[in-house]
């Protein structure tokens, strides 16, 4: 059974676990515990201090994805298509082919519903698996990030987009910051899995930025839970190293040639 079929078969059976990775060091650890490794364009803010994911380039995504791939043995690997790389059917196909060829990933993710459906159709027609993404869309949002599904117009658009994406062959859909009742409704209506981020326990799976859950970012986003404060352990090791160098305890003969 291929990796995508495994994800599809989890619908209504077991929760899907998805986390981000931007390098081999992280992906080889994450791979042990997750079903999907996402090379997210969130690397823009996490690694490069960009104020928006719009600044992330195709080259950056490909380079990080190559590293991530080295650490993956079992998980499905999905790569975000960065902003402005899928504006047209032609550019979407050209750039997605480049991503698949150079990174050896299993699928790509595009943000949006009806607005990008022609691009999604051409990718799937050319046997490039696609993960959808609706709700809050970081690449195109204007102003402050807000949850989606508050008005009847938003609710209708979310449901219509979800059904349209499913109809045209995406294998899963990320629901970002979608109000709980709507996320539940969409998940129930679809035959493909939904993966939530800030969209309640009712989704078929969950995704988080790994650096957020490890406490490496000083994030105060509502949907982020810090499962461990890794900064504390990092500081402890760094402090010990600096102290031993200054007191000439390191390196000893054991650590010298």
For residue 176, give the 3-state DSSP assignment.
strand
Has 176 been annotated as catalytic?
yes
Cα 156–Cα 161–Cα 165 angle in degrees, nearest 5: 155
Which residue among the candidates 60, 154, 176, 244 is catalytic per the annotation?
Answer: 176
Instruction: Return d(Cα 242, Cα 31) in angstroms, integer.
Output: 32
- Among left, alpha and beta (phi > 0; psi -120 to 50; other), residue 215 is left
Rounded to a whole number of angstroms, the distance between the first and last alpha carbons of the chain is 50
Kindly tell me the burial class for residue 153, based on how many C-beta atoms sit within 10 Å of its own C-beta (0-12, 13-18, 19 or more).
exposed
Catalytic residues: 176
């Amino acid at each position: 059974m291929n990796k995508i079929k495994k994800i599809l078969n989890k619908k209504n059976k077991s929760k899907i676990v998805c986390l981000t990775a931007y390098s081999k060091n992280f992906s080889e650890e994450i791979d042990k515990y997750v079903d999907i490794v996402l090379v997210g364009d969130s690397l823009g803010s996490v690694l490069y201090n960009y104020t928006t994911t719009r600044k992330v380039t195709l080259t950056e995504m490909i380079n990080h994805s190559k590293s991530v791939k080295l650490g993956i043995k079992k998980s499905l690997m999905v790569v975000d298509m960065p902003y402005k790389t899928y504006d047209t059917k032609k550019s979407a196909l050209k750039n997605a082919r480049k991503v698949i060829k150079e990174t050896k990933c299993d699928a790509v993710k595009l943000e949006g519903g009806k607005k990008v459906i022609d691009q999604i159709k051409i990718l799937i027609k050319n046997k490039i698996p696609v993960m959808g993404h609706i709700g809050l869309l970081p690449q195109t949002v204007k102003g402050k990030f807000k949850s989606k599904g508050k008005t009847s117009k938003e609710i209708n658009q979310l449901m219509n987009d979800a059904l349209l994406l499913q109809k045209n062959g995406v294998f899963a859909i990320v629901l970002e910051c979608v109000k709980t009742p709507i996320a539940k409704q969409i998940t129930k209506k679809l035959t493909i899995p939904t993966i939530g981020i800030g969209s309640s326990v009712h989704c078929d799976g969950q995704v988080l930025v790994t650096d957020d859950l490890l406490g490496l970012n000083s994030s105060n986003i509502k949907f982020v839970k810090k499962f461990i404060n890794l900064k504390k352990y990092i500081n402890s090791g760094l402090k010990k190293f600096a102290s031993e160098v200054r007191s000439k305890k390191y390196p000893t003969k054991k650590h010298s040639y």
